[in-house]
Amino acid sequence: MHDDTFDTELKLILEAIYLRFHYDFRHYSPASLKRRLSQAMQRFGCRSLSGLQERILHEPGVFPELLSFLTIIVSEMFRDPAFYLALREKVVPFLQTYPSLKIWVAGCSTGEEVYSLAILLKEEELLDRSLIYATDINPEALRKAKAGIYDLDRIAGFSEAYQAAGGRTSLSDYYTAAYGSAVFDKALRKNILFSDHSLATDNVFAEVQLVTCRNVLIYFDRALQDRAIGLFRDSLSRKGFLALGAKETLRFSDHAAEFSEFAGAERIYQKE
Amino acid sequence: MPATAEAIVVGGSAGALEALSTLLADLPDDFTVPIVIVLHLPRHKPSVLPEVVAAKAGRPVREPLDKEPVSGSMIYVAPADYHLLIDQGVVFAFSVDEPVNFSLPSIDVLFESAADVFGARLIGVLLSGANADGASGLKAIEDAGGLAIVQAPEDASIPVMPNAAIALCKHARVLPAAGIRAYLLRSAGCGEATERKENHDR
């Protein structure tokens, strides 16, 4: 599918993006990156990656669109209900012992996971004493996350997952339906701070008791995964929790020994 | 035919489990090439495929984890709700990108990434199914010098997927499921296929 020329051009365009726009994709997982860039070539009508590189360097407006293409992560509210159930039943009792809580949702994309977490914390009477940092590198995704507005046709699936995740009421208590959209309650995000942060180039900014970073590390290579996990370790207080996606593991990481498995099947780890 | 296949990737959809049962039934111990399988799965449900396939194959079958090395003598199946890819370093990778050909996991995504990593040292097998996912992935395997095998449409419960692949892949070998099994065992240097048959005849 890809020849040596493609691989050469891939290195060049990633370097160009880094130098010109300061986004570092050089340690993203090549398999997914190649696939997304091949699709981007079609979308932008370019015959080669060099052609795409010329367009992002010389045509304003092309890079922001490419950025969305490269970074958007398709998420859902209460994705993997078993994870949220484990968070509620096993992690919350620990979180309740803190007078105030800081939580980092790393790679929050368009916000579905952040609102899921906020709802869970509200139902466990923890939201008022929590501060949630929701970070992403994609400004367009952050804008959508802040707005908290989702297509109404996705809500049935979200509601089902909410119930399976041990939801205490009905998901409809948390949004207003209007014009084909579900607008989530502003009160949910009064303690959420949305901000730009790159796991590839930025550093630790707060001490937190819980990090959730689900289905983000799968897009990184081993080296960048280790960088990100190092940030989480440095950010977490002692015995703090790290939650990963269903197929993500610390097993192959240099930092494996610095965490223990807390809820193995749900990929919740605890810092030693 | 690739002299030494380092991996076999298998895709299928409706009707493929039956073919897979024939393909993988009691694999001999000296068959050590890793097999990676994508079958189309219902969304948002844990897959029971590992248990089902393990029962047929008589060897461990697992859903891999991110960055897990692809190991010999193993059978891996893609989990629900993720695309499964092979990445540099011969490790597994995942994505939660949009469905491809309405499919998540998609056969094309696995096949194209595997073609990129293994080149000519790869065999792709496409089985029964009701949509065209896998056809362009199989073409990518062929283009990279690997071997494409398609279940014969008349042998497949639903021939849409095989037909789409045959139309796209000029050099594909078209075989019934039992023939694919015999071919894979031969190409891996296992004499067992013929021995077993003789035992049954006796």
pLDDT tens by residue, B106-120: 999 999 999 999 999
Q: How confident is the prediction for chain B on average, in pLDDT?
A: 91
pLDDT above 70 as % of chain A: 99
Q: Which residues of B are catalytic?
A: 13, 40, 133
pLDDT of residue A1: 52
CB–CB contact A29 B87 (8 Å): yes
Residue A76 lies in a domain: no
Task: Tally C-beta pairs within 8 A across A and B.
Answer: 75
Which of 149-168 (A) contact B at CB < 8 A?
Answer: 157, 161
Q: Tell me, what CATH number does A109's domain have?
A: 3.40.50.150
Interface of B with A (CB under 8 A): 44, 63-68, 79, 81-82, 85-89, 93-98, 109, 112-113, 115-117, 140, 143-144
As a whole number, mean pLDDT of residues B53-81 equals 94
| A22 is a domain residue | yes
What is the C-alpha to C-alpha distance for residues A95 and A114, in angstroms, rounded to an integer? 17
Predicted pLDDT of residue A68: 86
- Residue A150 falls within a domain, yes or no? yes
Is there a single domain that holds both residue A19 and residue A90? Answer: no
Rounded CA separation A7/A236 (Å) = 37
Residue ranges of alpha helices (H) inside chain A are: 4-21, 30-43, 49-58, 62-71, 81-86, 92-95, 112-123, 139-147, 155-164, 222-235
Containing structural domain, residue A32: 4-71
Q: A148 near A183, Cβ under 8 Å?
A: yes
In this structure, the answer to whether residues A248 and A149 fall within a common structural domain is: yes
pLDDT of A73: 77
- Statement to judge: residues A127 and A53 lie in one domain: no
Q: Among residues A13, A43, A71, which one ends one of the domains? A: A71
In sequence order, what DSSP letters do the residues of B147-187 get, joined into one string? EEEEE-GGGSSSTHHHHHHHHH-TT-EEE-HHHHHHHHHHH
Rounded mean pLDDT of A103-124?
97
pLDDT at A2: 65
Task: Please give the Cα distance from B37 to A87 (Å, whole number).
Answer: 32
Confidence (pLDDT) at B44: 79
What are the beta bridge partners of residue A131?
Answer: A102
Q: Domains along chain B?
A: 7-193 (3.40.50.180)
The residue in chain B having the minimum alpha-carbon distance to the alpha carbon of residue A31 is: B87
Give the whole-angstrom CA distance, residue A248 versus residue A29. Answer: 13
Q: How many residues does chain A have?
A: 272
What per-residue confidence (pLDDT) applies to B202? 37
Answer whether A206 touches B (CB < 8 Å): no
Q: Verify cis geometry, omega within 30 degrees of 0, for the bond prior to A60.
A: no
With CB atoms and an 8 Å threshold, state whether A249 touches B94.
no
Let me know: does B164 contact B137? Beta carbons within 8 Å: no
Nearest Cβ partner of B96 from A2, A35, A73?
A73
Instruction: Indicate whether A160 belongs to any domain.
Output: yes
Domain count, chain A: 2
Prediction ipTM score: 0.93
Interface touch B93/A218, C-beta < 8 Å: yes
**A219 in reach of chain B (CB within 8 A):** yes
Residue B105 β-bridge partners: none
